[in-house]
Structure 1
């Protein structure tokens, strides 16, 4: 289990305050909210790219941020919103880079490391791209490679910042479907940030609504995604339609 208790962080005139949530093994929690609400800041604090004000992130009861870099890499993997390498590394080399923290300073990757990287590419249906330059991939393929790079560490927790950003509808569904499958089959705890409440409703076990650096509500999507809460978070009138067991969230609009 990953537990965040009282996470607070500030820079400039923006802060996140007293963020609390729990995510069990095999569950997906989505941080959902408008641009600039603090979703990415929260995610970076959880992973340790930013330093919160006090101890607040625990994995299986262990203070995550007090662990060594090597220990943290074995527990959690991070997938950024975008990544642009300065050199045209092959896809396989990019995935192997995920093991850098487990190698000594002058140690080169061995055959076993490349085989592990191939295994993760195979898992995501990307093995045939192993020799292709990373700079020649589409947006959806890039995201899959970044996920493979995180998975090669064999983490218990996977943190993904806007994994569907800049992707078309087909690739959004593909990426989120793979994340959900990994959570179920590999028993990975996943935390991701999204903008779209409909996608969050479909692919999340839990949702945390974020506004102005605070968690406004957290729980199962059926409890959290209600018109009055969404209107307060997004600042627009919301209407929720239900049919055949599905809920569709849309803004109220007037047809002129």
Structure 2
């Protein structure tokens, strides 16, 4: 289980304040909100890329930020929005890099490390690309490889920053479907950031609406994704249509 208790971080004239939530095993929590609301700052602060003001992140009861890099790598995996490799490594080599923190300073990956990486590629359906240069993949394939790189650590917590950024509709559905399946089958506590409330509704167990560095509301999608709350968070008129059990969230626009 991931527990976040009173997370706060400031830089410049922006801050996130008193962020609190917990994510159980097999559950997906989505941080949803407009650009600049603080979603990525919260995610980076959880992982430790940014340093919160006090102890506030606990994984299975352990103070996450007090652990060594090696111990943290075994508990949490981080998937950034994008990654631009400086060299055309093979897909398999990129996934093996996820184990770097578990190797000695002068230690090279061994056969068992490559086998472990291949297993994660198989898990997400990317094993056939193992020998392809990483620089020759599509956007959706890149995101899946980054997820495999995080999974090779066998983390208890998976943090994903805008996993659908720059992806077409098909790859958005594919990537989020795999994240949802992995959370359930592997018992991972997943936290991801998204902009699109419709995608958040489909692929989240719970949603935390973020505005100006604070969580405005948190709960199940059908509880949180309501017109008045979304209008307050996004600052635009919202219309929600319901059909055969599905809810479609749209901006309310005037027909010209």
TM-score range, shorter chain: over 0.9
1:139 aligns to what? 139
- Describe the SS at the equivalent of 1:41: helix
Aligned residues: 256
- Describe the SS at the equivalent of 2:4: strand
2:159 aligns to what? 159
Query: TM-score, normalising length from structure 2?
Result: 0.99
Alpha-carbon deviation of 1:29?
Answer: 0.3
- Describe the SS at the equivalent of 1:89: coil
* Partner Cα separation in structure 2 for residue 253 and residue 245 of structure 1: 24
* Partner Cα separation in structure 2 for residue 197 and residue 229 of structure 1: 12
Alignment pair present for 1:16 and 2:19:
no
Alignment pair present for 1:249 and 2:245:
no
Deviations 1:202-222 (A, max 9, x none): 000010000000000011111
1:44 aligns to what? 44
Alpha-carbon deviation of 1:60?
Answer: 1.0
* Partner Cα separation in structure 1 for residue 88 and residue 60 of structure 2: 38
Alpha-carbon deviation of 1:169?
Answer: 0.2
* Partner Cα separation in structure 1 for residue 63 and residue 240 of structure 2: 40
RMSD: 0.5
* Partner Cα separation in structure 2 for residue 126 and residue 70 of structure 1: 26
* Partner Cα separation in structure 1 for residue 160 and residue 143 of structure 2: 10
Deviations 1:65-108 (A, max 9, x none): 00111110000000000000100100000000000000010100
2:128 aligns to what? 128
Alpha-carbon deviation of 1:254?
Answer: 1.1
Alpha-carbon deviation of 1:119?
Answer: 0.3
Judge which range, 239-248 or 71-80, deviates more: 239-248
- Describe the SS at the equivalent of 2:54: coil
Deviations 1:105-140 (A, max 9, x none): 010000000000000001111111111100010000
Alpha-carbon deviation of 1:253?
Answer: 1.1
2:95 aligns to what? 95
* Partner Cα separation in structure 2 for residue 238 and residue 190 of structure 1: 28
* Partner Cα separation in structure 2 for residue 115 and residue 195 of structure 1: 36
Give runs of ≥4 in structure 1 deviating > 2 Å. none
1:203 aligns to what? 203
* Gapped regions of structure 1 (runs ≥ 5): none
Query: TM-score, normalising length from structure 1?
Result: 0.99
Alignment pair present for 1:105 and 2:144:
no
- Describe the SS at the equivalent of 2:222: helix
2:217 aligns to what? 217
* Gapped regions of structure 2 (runs ≥ 5): none
| Structure 1 residues 235-246: aligned runs within 5 Å | 235-246=235-246
